[in-house]
Amino acid sequence: MNLSNTISTGCPFCGTGCALNVECNGTSYKVKGDKSNPSTLGELCFKPIQMAKVLDTARLNTPLYRQHKHEPFKPISWDKAFSYIADNILQLPKNALYFYLSGQLLSEESYLFTKLIKGYLGTNNVDANSRLCMASAVIAHKMVFGSDGPVGNYKDIDDADVILISGSNPAWAHPVVFRRILARKKSHPETLIITIDPIRTETAEKSDLWIGLNSGSDTTLYNAILSALHKQSACDIDFIRRVSEGFEQTLSEAQKISFESAIEACGISQQNAEQIVQCFASDKKIVGLWCQGLNQATDGVMRNIGFMNLFLATGRLNASRGCPISLTGQPNAMGGREVGYLSNGLPGYRDVRTLSDRQTCENHWNLFHNTISPIPGITITDAIDSILTKDIRFLWVTCTNPLLTLPDLNKTEHALNSPDLFLVVQDCVMSETAAMANLILPTHTWGEKEGSMTNSERYIKRIRPFKPAPDGSKSDLDIIYSVAQKLGFSGFEYTNIKAVYDEYKALSENRLCDQSTQEYNSISYQWGGERLYSNQIFATTSTKVQFHPVISSTSMIDPDKFILITGRTKKQWHTMTRTGLSNELLKEEEEPYLLMNSDEAEKMGIDVGDTVIIKNDLGTLELPIRFGKLAYKHLFAPFGYPQTPINTLVPVLNDPFSSQSALKSAQVLVIKK
Ligand SMILES: Nc1nc2c(c(=O)[nH]1)N[C@H]1C(S)=C(S)[C@@H](COP(=O)(O)OP(=O)(O)OC[C@H]3O[C@@H](n4cnc5c(=O)[nH]c(N)nc54)[C@H](O)[C@@H]3O)O[C@H]1N2
Ligand SMILES: Nc1nc2c(c(=O)[nH]1)N[C@H]1C(S)=C(S)[C@@H](COP(=O)(O)OP(=O)(O)OC[C@H]3O[C@@H](n4cnc5c(=O)[nH]c(N)nc54)[C@H](O)[C@@H]3O)O[C@H]1N2
Ligand code: SF4
Ligand SMILES: [Mo]
């Protein structure tokens, strides 16, 4: 590798998907924004800049094995490691195998895992951490538009009159998107930024209006706005009649609650809610952004749909009046969804339940018909239960750290620690999950890998290596090739990564996420163009966009308990396995904390810095207090800190449509220590 040059690549962190140039000088890597990239325009935040300084810290450099989980690990050869995997896969029945992937893998990696597992192994027992992240958004998009895929794009922010953010804290989680919002505000001060969030986050702080609703009352709020719009004759009846279905039923469900009682249930002021109604009733261009505050809930799909209903009802799916844009969390959850890595997916936004989709993939992979199972696999939280009942006995975890990020960690730990489970973990460092494994496969990571990623606005770019990987580690793709070979499969003999991409892109032809015309070496492409469905023909069977009735939630807060919201910090990435190695990224985020309203704390005799006990039926934790501004009886704690694994207190309660877990609304008692 040339030691002094500039490599064009992308950021490995959030779904904003910034394109980067890395200036390499010996072992020093200077990360800058790539100004030639039309999606992110040369912007970036501090995470990749600081991360590039610690890429070689604490890396694994040999496969490690132990037969029993109480034994110490022993280094083994790669060949032996692949044999252990192949032996387990060949000896166990198909439905005893499970694979858990990640939105941080490159598209080529997720594609080949999908081909190996769903195609060659003939099991759909595979899921990704997107189940915890984007599953509700995926289902909602499919129900409304007929396909997954966020509608709008970042450019829509640049001329928006109103930016409506709900359940999202982009100032921390999508900083470059937020900077774009602030740039619009600066150049056009009349732009209105509204944030709907139980917490007065940095995003809310910098907005014109903070709507601090009660956790879980979103559907009630959106329904109230929808019926108020209808009452004022502010719905776009022409659009509704011409290109949509289901409006009447949706409206009558929304009308079941009066505006006044809805507002009361949300715990917000009538004036604030009316301000949103007036925005939608006007001709203003509104861009709607949302993320985990809507996705991670037992009614996550309904929250997504309720929010999108407001845009449909006012004909807002275009450049002049605005549109909804679902913010994607991980850097390549979009790519993973495109290649079909969730338990029901197949490449090119296909589905295992559709015969023609299975056959297209079987033909493409030179497999016999009926090799791919028509039954979706179980989801990750169900897989944890199946490990406990010994139905699943082999789990291969790649690029995710479930021991800290799944709900109900005591149960998760119990499952992963099971003597009947052979646990393989493929990671670049010793994560908490790796430390529980029977077999650890040390991988290359960002800066060392090659492939492609799709960002939150459907823009695909190339990811290129800019440094050597530690000796002894292997790329995720090499590991897949080698395991396939050990299993005796032909169909994984690629001469380069371009060949993997070319094979996948052919499967995307004539699909919504078509990228079949792209040249691997120079991919720079927004599939679907700037905005999806600009011809008002939708991916549904009737080609019409679908309204769906949304039931107003009636969330009950136990008067003794608090609602514990969990989420991100500004500089750390999830379980901190990599960003936790950077002192700069740890500054002010060294310790976990519990955010609480000062007046509620003072009533309980609790002061800033005091340690409190938080507990529920699932467990007990201790955290130091910080004061913030939140809806009454709400708390916030970050979830990535291994020393206080907050998901211990988060129950497994899933959305019935998406099986995404409600990670933002555990009920807890707070006790002064
Ligand atoms: N710094 C940093 N950035 C990241 C990540 C990271 O780990 N660190 N992770 C990336 C990933 S994978 C993801 S998914 C995104 C997540 O990005 P976000 O979803 O923006 O971040 P969260 O902190 O999970 O939650 C967002 C907000 O939802 C609010 N919320 C909770 N309950 C409700 C509710 O009932 N209604 C409404 N309206 N709001 C509610 C919370 O108070 C919180 O402020 O961030 C990405 N970016
Ligand atoms: N309570 C609560 N829980 C949550 C959430 C929440 O808001 N609240 N959010 C959920 C969401 S949205 C998400 S996305 C998940 C994220 O949860 P996880 O995906 O479990 O968390 P990460 O820390 O990102 O784990 C990524 C792992 O991949 C490893 N890794 C890095 N690069 C590579 C590579 O190139 N190859 C391989 N093989 N490994 C690599 C890292 O070292 C790390 O161990 O957490 C979910 N859990
Ligand atoms: S905004 Fe997201 S994608 Fe862009 S540099 Fe920061 S972490 Fe990376
Ligand atoms: Mo996520």
pLDDT for the residue numbered 343: 93
Beta bridge partners of 64: 75, 440
Establish whether residue 212 lines the binding site of ligand 1, counting it when its CB lies within 6 angstroms of any ligand atom.
no
| 530, two tokens | 């700037």
Tell me which residue has its CA closest to atom 5 in ligand 3: 44
| Cβ–Cβ < 8 Å for 15, 40 | no
Closest atom of ligand 2 to 405 CA is: 47
| 616, two tokens | 């529920």
Q: How far apart are CA 307 and CA 222, in angstroms?
A: 6
Task: List ligand 2's pocket residues with C-beta within 6 A.
Answer: 102, 104, 129, 132-133, 292, 296, 329-330, 398-402, 405, 426-429, 431, 443, 445, 449, 476, 566-567, 573-575, 577-578, 639, 646-647, 650, 663
Tell me which residue has its CA closest to atom 18 in ligand 2: 400
Counting other chains too, the contacts that 260-267 makes at CB distance below 8 Å and 24 or more residues apart are: 262/220, 262/221, 262/223, 262/224, 262/552, 263/221, 263/224, 265/214, 265/217, 265/220, 265/552, 265/554, 266/213, 266/214, 266/217, 266/220, 266/221, 266/224, 267/212, 267/213, 267/214, 267/217, 267/631, 267/632
DSSP-assigned letter for residue 301: H
Is the CATH code 3.90.550.10 the one for domain 151-327?
no
pLDDT for the residue numbered 108: 98
| 69, two tokens | 């989980």
Looking at the domain that runs over 562-672, which CATH code has it been given?
2.40.40.20
Q: Residue 367: how many CB atoms within 10 A of its CB? A: 18
Reference 647, options 630, 632, 666; nearest CA is: 666
Q: How far apart are CA 382 and CA 628, in angstroms?
A: 36
Q: How far apart are CA 621 and CA 646, in angstroms?
A: 8
Of 113, 577, 579, 623, best ligand 2 pocket probe by most atoms within 8 Å of the beta carbon: 577
CA of 553 to the centre of ligand 4 (A): 24
- Cα R_g (the chain), whole angstroms: 24
Half-sphere exposure of 654 (CA within 13 A, CB side): 17
Phi/psi at 36 (nearest 5 deg)? -80, -5
Establish whether residue 48 lines the binding site of ligand 3, counting it when its CB lies within 6 angstroms of any ligand atom.
yes
| Cβ–Cβ < 8 Å for 654, 296 | no
pLDDT for the residue numbered 79: 98
Closest atom of ligand 1 to 216 CA is: 35
Reference 382, options 357, 404, 408, 364; nearest CA is: 408
Tell me which residue has its CA closest to atom 6 in ligand 3: 45
| Cβ–Cβ < 8 Å for 566, 574 | no
Establish whether residue 568 lines the binding site of ligand 1, counting it when its CB lies within 6 angstroms of any ligand atom.
yes
pLDDT for the residue numbered 551: 96
Closest atom of ligand 2 to 404 CA is: 20
> Mean pLDDT of successive 10-residue segments in the chain (673 residues)?
80 98 96 98 98 98 97 98 98 98 98 98 98 98 97 97 98 98 98 98 98 97 98 98 98 97 96 98 98 98 98 97 98 97 96 98 97 97 98 98 98 98 98 98 98 98 98 98 97 96 98 96 94 97 98 83 98 98 97 98 98 98 98 97 98 98 98 94
Of 9, 43, 174, best ligand 3 pocket probe by most atoms within 8 Å of the beta carbon: 174
CA of 430 to the centre of ligand 2 (A): 13
Q: Are strands 611-616 and 619-628 parallel, antiparallel or unpaired?
A: antiparallel
- 3-class SS at 584? helix
Domain ranges for the chain, please list them: 6-51, 64-133+331-455+459-526, 151-327, 562-672
DSSP-assigned letter for residue 506: H
Which residue do the tokens 């009630």 mark? 220
CA of 211 to the centre of ligand 2 (A): 30
Q: How far apart are CA 29 and CA 377, in angstroms?
A: 42
Establish whether residue 176 lines the binding site of ligand 3, counting it when its CB lies within 6 angstroms of any ligand atom.
yes
How many residues belong to the chain?
673
Reference 294, options 222, 351, 365, 379; nearest CA is: 222
Question: Distances from the Cα of 119 to the Cαs of 109, 372, 373, 495, 516, in angstroms?
Answer: 15, 5, 9, 21, 21
Q: Say which ligand is closest to the CA of 41.
A: 3
Closest atom of ligand 3 to 33 CA is: 5
Strand order in the sheet with 19-25: 4-10, 19-25, 28-33
Q: Residue 359: how many CB atoms within 10 A of its CB? A: 14
DSSP-assigned letter for residue 117: I
- 3-class SS at 463? strand
Tell me which residue has its CA closest to atom 30 in ligand 1: 293
Of 292, 332, 554, 633, best ligand 1 pocket probe by most atoms within 8 Å of the beta carbon: 292
Centroid of chain to Cα 63:
29
587: left (phi over 0), alpha (psi -120 to 50) or beta: beta
Phi/psi at 365 (nearest 5 deg)? -100, 10
CA-CA-CA-CA torsion for 233, 239, 243, 246, nearest 10 degrees? Answer: -10
Looking at the domain that runs over 6-51, which CATH code has it been given?
2.20.25.90
CA of 103 to the centre of ligand 1 (A): 16
Q: Does the fold of domain 64-133+331-455+459-526 match that of domain 6-51?
A: no
DSSP-assigned letter for residue 639: S
Q: How far apart are CA 601 and CA 605, in angstroms?
A: 6
DSSP-assigned letter for residue 243: H
Q: How far apart are CA 186 and CA 34, in angstroms?
A: 23
Q: How far apart are CA 655 and CA 662, in angstroms?
A: 7
pLDDT for the residue numbered 526: 97
CA of 603 to the centre of ligand 2 (A): 37
Q: How far apart are CA 85 and CA 83, in angstroms?
A: 5
Phi/psi at 667 (nearest 5 deg)? -100, 130
CA of 130 to the centre of ligand 2 (A): 10
Q: If you write DSSP's letter for every residue of 400-431 in order, what string do you get? A: --HHHHSS-HHHHHHHHT-TT-EEEEEESB--
366: left (phi over 0), alpha (psi -120 to 50) or beta: left
Q: How far apart are CA 299 and CA 664, in angstroms?
A: 12
pLDDT for the residue numbered 554: 74
| Cβ–Cβ < 8 Å for 463, 533 | no
Reference 191, options 292, 322, 305; nearest CA is: 322
Angle at 9 between CA 8 and CA 11, to 5 degrees: 140
pLDDT for the residue numbered 484: 98
pLDDT for the residue numbered 4: 65
Establish whether residue 595 lines the binding site of ligand 1, counting it when its CB lies within 6 angstroms of any ligand atom.
no
CA of 131 to the centre of ligand 1 (A): 15
Of 174, 291, 571, best ligand 1 pocket probe by most atoms within 8 Å of the beta carbon: 291
Closest atom of ligand 2 to 401 CA is: 20
Establish whether residue 567 lines the binding site of ligand 1, counting it when its CB lies within 6 angstroms of any ligand atom.
yes
Looking at the domain that runs over 64-133+331-455+459-526, which CATH code has it been given?
3.40.50.740
